[in-house]
Amino acid sequence: MILLERICIALLLVYAAWLPMPFGSNVDWAFLPLILPPMILCALAAMIWLRRAPLPYAPAAWKVWTAGAILFIAIVALQLVPLPRPLLAVVSPSSANIWTSAERIASPAGVVLPAGRPVSVNPEATRHELLRLIALFAAMQAASMLITTNVRRLLFAAALSLTAIFETLYGVREAALRRYAIWGWVNRLIFDRVTGTFVNPNHFAHYLAIVLPMALFLKMSRRARTMLKLVAGAPVAGSSRVWMLTRPRL
């Protein structure tokens, strides 16, 4: 069980480092690698967690966050449930109006729409985002069950800091060469702003903002060795300058 736990921790670190690489995991072919690994890791972590005796202490903050996340996922899932027209008009008048307009357009063409209408006017896209949301929840839960010691927290922070260093160097290099390419694909959508391997520089700026507290934790930790503190120093020292190069619009 200890070996399985260590393998899960290593895979979680690899997953965290992988996420921004394929265009911020925002392309079609990266969808399955985005959602499947955290679900599998969460299931394995839960199995390891439940086999411990006694069960590990669960902080109140974790319980509140978990309950809120489950409630949010349930609200999103309910948007896919077909509702009768009168009920849909009460729950979401705008959605009901859109579905009514769609029916007027589809009827002359002989297209018969189902009697029930969901709140979502694009169910396929909503299902896609629901799976993404569940994957994010699973990743958070896996991390909460696996990253439970200070050493593991240091390793997690180091993995994110190293990924941020790579993203920064990659983005600055492409900007310096005036290529703005991501793995050979030239970014013609947004030009003259540092993006890392993200297409949108705002997403890159948000990524740096997320990693910065991790780097600060690593930098200020007394148990971190000199090499780890040097790793953390780069994002801490350069994040503000690179963040300005992204010119984020928040």
Q: For the segment 131-143, what is each residue's pLDDT rounded down to a tens digit?
A: 999 999 999 999 9
Report yes or no: 93 and 121 within 8 Å, Cβ to Cβ: no
Q: Which has the minimum average pLDDT: 59-68, 82-91, 194-203, 208-217?
A: 208-217
Q: Which two tokens stand for residue 21?
A: 């690489």
Predicted TM-score of the model (pTM): 0.83
Whole-number pLDDT of residue 72: 96
**Domain-embedded: residue 185:** yes
Whole-number pLDDT of residue 244: 53
Higher-pLDDT residue of 57, 223:
57
**Domain-embedded: residue 94:** no
* Closest C-alpha to 207, from 243, 158, 175: 243
Report residue 215's pLDDT band, with 50, 70 and 90 as the boundaries. Answer: confident
Across 64-73, 158-167, 178-187, 194-203, the highest mean pLDDT is recorded for 64-73
**Domain-embedded: residue 233:** yes
- Hunting for tokens 């507290």 — which residue is that? 213
Kindly state the DSSP code that residue 82 receives in the 8-state scheme: -
Q: How far is CA 134 from the centre of its chain?
A: 10
Kindly state the DSSP code that residue 84 receives in the 8-state scheme: -
Mean local confidence (pLDDT), 50-64:
82
- Hunting for tokens 């990524």 — which residue is that? 207
Q: Is the pLDDT of residue 1 over 70?
A: no
The backbone torsions φ and ψ at residue 186, rounded to the nearest 5 degrees and listed phi first, read -80, 125
**Domain-embedded: residue 180:** yes
- Hunting for tokens 């579905």 — which residue is that? 99
Q: Is the pLDDT of residue 208 over 80?
A: yes
Across 75-84, 102-111, 177-186, 206-215, the highest mean pLDDT is recorded for 75-84
**Domain-embedded: residue 215:** yes
* Closest C-alpha to 212, from 150, 155, 136, 161: 161
Mean local confidence (pLDDT), 45-64:
84
**Domain-embedded: residue 220:** yes
Omega into 54 within 30° of 0, i.e. cis? yes
Share of the chain above pLDDT 90, in %: 40
CA-to-CA distance for 218 and 195, rounded, in angstroms?
24
**Domain-embedded: residue 4:** no
| 112-116 contacts at long range (C-beta below 8 A, 24 or more positions apart) | 114/82, 115/82, 115/84, 115/85, 116/82, 116/83, 116/84
Report residue 228's pLDDT band, with 50, 70 and 90 as the boundaries. Answer: low
The residues, ordered by sequence, that sit 6+ positions from 57 with a Cβ below 8 Å of its Cβ are: none
Q: Which has the minimum average pLDDT: 55-59, 111-115, 140-144, 153-157?
A: 111-115
Q: How many domains does the chain have?
A: 1
- Residue 67: CB atoms within 10 A of its CB come to 10
**Domain-embedded: residue 172:** yes
Q: Could you read off the pLDDT of 142-172 as tens digits, one per residue?
A: 999 999 888 898 889 889 988 988 988 898 8
Q: Which has the minimum average pLDDT: 72-81, 178-187, 207-216, 236-245?
A: 236-245
Domain range for 168:
149-250
Mean pLDDT of the chain: 84
Report yes or no: 47 and 1 within 8 Å, Cβ to Cβ: no
Q: Is the pLDDT of residue 127 over 90?
A: yes
